Amino acid sequence: MGKVENGPNTIIDGFLDNHVTLLCPTFYYDGEIYPDEYNYKNNGVDYSVQRVRKKLSFYDDSTQIDKSMGLLPKTILNYSQSIRTHNPLSSFVALGYHAEKLMESQNLLNVYSCYKNIVKSNLKSYILLAGVNLTKCTPIHY
């Protein structure tokens, strides 16, 4: 995409100026805690590739987003009108006219409900991937 004057806010504001509601994953992996490898030898975690976790609690702060989510979702979190779900691992942020409708039913057992809400409401929607391929496309899980 290259450099954009005024950074990611220009892109976000461009969508908002055209009455687009934005929905992005804002996953936070540092809140995951794995069992100590010496106590659970057969727990399915490959400790040879697992990075050390910080063991931080999720308190729904705009800084609590994994770097792999990208700059746009991180920036959207800082908009005062944005709405973030309160899932400690798989949160989403929405911004725009339909934000509340998309986020209303997400909970710990219904992680991808925002996508279900798009389908149920027949909202015209698009998936935008920037700088990544389809293996990074979150709706594939829905």
pLDDT at residue 1 in the model: 61
Percent of the chain clearing pLDDT 90 (strictly above): 41
Q: Are 25 and 89 in contact (CB under 8 A)?
A: no
* Encoded tokens for 50: 């697992």
Whole-model pTM? 0.81
Q: Is the pLDDT of residue 42 over 70?
A: no
Q: How far apart are CA 25 and CA 91, in angstroms?
A: 6
Name the average pLDDT for the chain. 84
Q: How far apart are CA 77 and CA 93, in angstroms?
A: 7
Q: Is the pLDDT of residue 76 over 90?
A: yes
